[in-house]
Structure 1
């Protein structure tokens, strides 16, 4: 794929994201652009231009390696807030200090292993290799997940939903359990708003099934699930 086609491909992918957000009742302003840039290394102004259908250069969405490495060094800091020294980085990935210097000034091109090791050192796996389209879509997926669930909750008549973070975060098993359980919460909310003659929520077999399922979870998973439930149905206290 040439550079021009790559830009068009990224722009088309973001257009689909924008269209879905608008269909779900949101604008792109629900996106945390600062976090998006942190995850991808692509400047906010560039992403906004792509969303707006404005032209950008290939280098803006796929900067040279030296710029990407400099970005990681400036944003992935030590606990004391300082940058990792060239020597610290070199020792961590098993190369000479001069190698890091040459990579940063662009006089040396990295091999795959060095790229991978540097990304892992900065806790940004795949940063140099997955490409701008996948990087942006991966970073935007949690936003779409939240928007889809929020639309479903509102469709069920549930108000004041306060989901914190992406439902895709955490273990795969817990993620699947949460998705299934939250879907049942939607159905229970719909049932509870039905006319009284259709039966109360206390007699709802789905409620009994959900209760039994939650009881079977481990204590740790049960607390995680109940925390989500409390947030979803508006029981979370302001100071929690």
Structure 2
């Protein structure tokens, strides 16, 4: 498939995403595009251009290895906020500082093992350096769209407790996969049930029972998130 074809296919896919968002009652702001950029390296401005139906080039979407590595060096920092030194990166992948410098300058191509170790060091998906830009973008949008659909399902379902709707809309990284699965179970069952009286809320009971049924480790993670949402921590 040539570049023009997959770029056109990507534009069509994003037009479909935008249309679905509108049907769900959302606008594009429900997706935190800065997070999509963080996951893929594709500039937020380019993503907005794609959603707006504007023309972009393949090179703006499918970044080179050099551009992807530069992005990780710039955005993945130590816990204290300082960037990693080239010597630290080199040591982590069992390469020389000169090798990392050459990769960043684009004068050298990486081997498979170096790419794999760099992905591990920066804690990104193993395919970060190899997956084509359009595929990476659509993959990164999947959880955001899943949250958008869940958010639409929550509307009018009397499941606005714990400020969850706001957290979902913001793409909160604290919304663990386990908690989202619990909510989806609750919504799926609640949609077929009559709306309860405020003093007798089966959705709340259902949420409580589902959380209780989780394995201990998973339940503790979910409860930590819930306590954060309601201001208990």
Alignment map for 1:2-81 (pairs within 5 Å) = 2-81=2-81
Distance of 1:25 and 1:17 partners within structure 2: 13
> Alpha-carbon deviation of 1:167?
9.6
For residues 181 and 25 of structure 1, the distance between their equivalents in structure 2, rounded to whole angstroms, comes to 21
Q: Bigger radius of gyration, 1 or 2?
A: 1
Instruction: Give the deviation of 1:176 after TM superposition.
Output: 4.3
Whether contact under 8 Å (1:145, 1:167) holds in the other structure is no
- Change in 2 beyond 3 A, CA 1:176/1:167: farther
- Aligned partners of 2:87 and 2:97 also within 8 Å: yes
Report which structure shows greater RCO (CA 8 Å, sep ≥6). 2
Alignment of 1:57-206 (within 5 A): 57-125=57-125, 126-156=127-157, 162-163=164-165, 164=167, 165=172, 169-170=176-177, 176-187=181-192, 190-192=194-196, 201=200
Question: Do the aligned partners of 1:146 and 1:166 also contact (CA within 8 Å) in 2?
Answer: no
Contact 2:78–2:84 (CA under 8 A) maintained in structure 1: yes
CA distance in 1, matches of 2:57, 2:186: 45
Moved over 2 A (4+): 155-171, 174-179, 181-188, 206-231, 236-240
In 1, Cα distance between the equivalents of 2:23 and 2:105? 45
Give me the whole-angstrom Cα distance separating, in 2, the residues matched to 1:175 and 1:158.
Answer: 13
Q: Give me the whole-angstrom Cα distance separating, in 2, the residues matched to 1:94 and 1:130.
A: 24
Give the CA deviation at 1:150. 1.9
Cα drift, residue 178 of structure 1? 4.3
Distance in 2 of aligned mates of 1:175 and 1:162: 10
How far off its partner does 1:138 sit? 2.4
Runs (5+) with no aligned partner, structure 1: 194-199
Give the distance between the partners of 2:85 and 2:225, measured in 1 at CA: 41
TM (norm. structure 1) is 0.77
Mark the CA change 1:144 to 1:109 in structure 2 (over 3 Å): closer, same or farther.
same
Give the unaligned 5+ runs of structure 2: none
Contact conserved, 2:39 with 2:140, CA < 8 A, in 1?
yes
Computed over aligned residues only, the root mean square deviation of the Cα atoms, in angstroms, reads 3.3
Q: Number of residues paired by the alignment?
A: 226
TM-score by length of 2: 0.80
- 1:179 offset after TM fit, Å? 2.6
Residue 112 of structure 1 deviates from its aligned partner by 2.3
